[in-house]
Chains A and B, each alone.
Chain A
Amino acid sequence: MHGESLNQQDLSPEAIEHLDQRIVRALEAQPKVSVPADFASRVARRLPAKHPTSVTSTHYGQGTMLIGILLTLAALVALSLHPTGPDRFGLLESMLFAQFLGLVVWFSVLRHNTR
């Protein structure tokens, strides 16, 4: 095969199979690599310094939840005192809508900041 041309249009199925086997053998042969002995330690030295993580806990979630509950309660009390007021369900609906909108904005900002 050495010096022999493979440029043959009429390769038999056996020859094609033989060629495929040789190709697969060549592909499966793993190249030998020489990794420098100090490679791992060099990588370890290049690792970025860790930023100190914040241990101060925030209570934004609890605070927002409390404000939401109080607003809803106040609205319910106000509506119960004036049962004949105009469009009370519309008002309640708007309040809940505003609270959900606030949650959406909050989670969006949180997701953006943690990327």
Chain B
Amino acid sequence: MSFDVQELLRRQAQWQKSRRALSWPEKIRMAEEIRESIKMLRSVPPEDLPEKHQPHPPTSPAE
């Protein structure tokens, strides 16, 4: 199965831009939701965040 990431990103960008056509009050409400999400993320202690993806396993100094 081929998966065109560029096409996915293009559609995503188009979808994001389509929100420009929303009414100003609707966009303000969305901004409020974005802001609450940011505040919530900032309030999570670092140890409770999911582990960062490690692209390469750490190398042991003994190796």
Q: Do A and B bind each other?
A: no
